[in-house]
Amino acid sequence: MAWKSRTRSLQVFDTELSADTIEWCPVASSHDILACGTYQLQKGGGEEDATPSRTGRLYLFEFRQEASMGPPLTELQHMDTAAILDMKWCHVPVSEKPVLGMAAATGELQLYTLSEGQQEGGRSLQTLCSSEVGAERLALSLDWSSGRMDSSDLRVVCSDSAGCVSVLSLAEGALMALSHWKAHDFEAWIAAFSYWDTQLIYSGGDDCKLKGWDLRVGPSSPAFTSKRHSMGVCSIHSNPHREHILATGSYDEQVLLWDGRNMRQPLSESPLGGGVWRLKWHPAHQHLLLAACMHNDFHVLHCQQALEGGGGACPVVASYILHNSLAYGADWSRLPLEGPAPGSPPTTTEPKESLAESRGHLRIQYESPTASFDTSLEDDAGRYIPEGCAASSAPPAAVPALRPDEDAPSLSCLLASCSFYDHMLHVWRWDWTPDETLKESDQC
């Protein structure tokens, strides 16, 4: 059966400061809650050697499907903070409340609880606790051990700009440091749990290495080290539905899928372009992977063939191309979408203007939200210019043979994404439905 795939923008919100992380709440009572974090580098005043300051702002939103006469996203709260590098909700409630973890430029891991306000519908974030993972460094990423909705032995892993990884436990409203070690030669961009064996932790760094760490034997040496990525490893996500399956992304513009039992060779390698900053497996559909590709927009990959041993690159089945700047934050919502998509025009997946015809500036090798950016290094539309203006920047062709799920006749998903220079948050939906015009030919 052939399928139609389309993305539609539902709302755009200006975060004022550069937006780099966005997370839907996974706790059942709060699936309508969305958090967005920002990062702003303020250069020192006047003096050349003045230390720049990093500031941020944390936004909290509520999504209302029934808001047909107005925008569905309502701002509940915002608070000024240190610059935010990453955020993750704990997948299960803590003391019956959702908890949001934040990696801050102060080198702290900060936790907030989502509480009901005094007024009706007045949910807000309240400080729970914090812990410094190291002095004179930035906390760059975090992950919870609860990815398979397991509430026992709650722990957080955090990576930092000194190349270190820290593991902390959460009990009785307080964080306790369990272990801390030097994992990478340069920035440790990402650290993540194996959701199937939470004694196993993965980390990726600017030294181009992907490493595994078994906490049962201690972090004195890694369980494995992979140099398959040719540039810094900046995204890792364990598949919560398929044991041993791991996705990694890098500044080298590749998404690699791995079977954790054999880290010598990836299951597949998919070139996406632009540097893969964040990867998120779908919360319910085990074959769908969302990628935030820095200079090359947001894409959904269908990984079924690769996970079943078929090899080859994972096809892109949807792309969201309405951001005009660095694509950093992206996440799936667990909210079910009801009814047809609103009447806004769909995002097309036709190839963009030929890069060979556009006039660009100096090519950016790679960027990260911890650096001081210069927008003149991008083209005038904020788009990445690949070396040689490769034709591969166009979205891959549709793959009509794929199905969203063996038991589902169609699929509608709610997503959110955010971009850096233009400080924009987008809420959008993706519909993947059978192509009615091709049904008869499919049955012949």
pLDDT of residue 348: 44
Q: At 254, is the secondary structure helix, strand, or coil?
A: strand
pLDDT of residue 256: 98
pLDDT of residue 310: 87
pLDDT of residue 122: 86
Structure tokens at 76: 């509940």
Phi, psi of 357 (to 5 degrees): -90, -15
Pair 213, 193: CB distance under 8 Å: no
CATH number (domain holding residue 173): 2.130.10.10
- Looking at this protein, which amino acid is placed at residue 141? S
**Residue 202: which domain range?**
3-45+52-350+357-443
pTM, rounded to two decimals: 0.87
C-alpha of 5 from chain center: 21
Burial per residue of 222-258, b for 16 or more beta-carbon CB atoms within 10 angstroms, e otherwise: bbeebebbeebbbbbbbbbbeeebbbbbbbbbbbbbb
Nearest one of 291, 294, 266 to 280, comparing CA atoms? 291
Q: Which residues pair with 73 in a beta bridge?
A: 63
Long-range contacts of 47-52 (CB under 8 A, 24+ apart): 52/372
CA distances from 249 to 49, 52, 158, 258, 433 (A): 34, 29, 18, 11, 28
Q: Please count the structural domains in the chain.
A: 1
Query: DSSP for 347-364?
Result: BP-S--S-GGGS---SPP
Nearest one of 228, 230, 257 to 245, comparing CA atoms? 257
pLDDT of residue 158: 98
Q: Does the CA dihedral 212-214-219-220 come out positive or negative?
A: negative
pLDDT of residue 391: 33
CB atoms within 10 A of CB 163: 21
Pair 145, 155: CB distance under 8 Å: yes
Burial per residue of 429-439, b for 16 or more beta-carbon CB atoms within 10 angstroms, e otherwise: bbbbebeeeee
Pair 290, 282: CB distance under 8 Å: yes
User: Consecutive 10-residue runs of the chain (444 residues): their mean pLDDT?
Assistant: 86 97 97 97 70 92 83 96 98 97 98 82 92 96 97 95 98 95 98 98 98 96 98 98 98 98 97 96 97 98 94 95 96 86 47 32 48 38 37 39 60 97 97 66 38
Pair 289, 301: CB distance under 8 Å: yes
- Report the length, in residues, of the chain: 444
pLDDT of residue 228: 98
Query: DSSP for 187-238?
Result: ---EEEE-SS-TTEEEEE-TTS-EEEEETTT-TTS-SEEE--SSS-EEEEEE
pLDDT of residue 368: 65
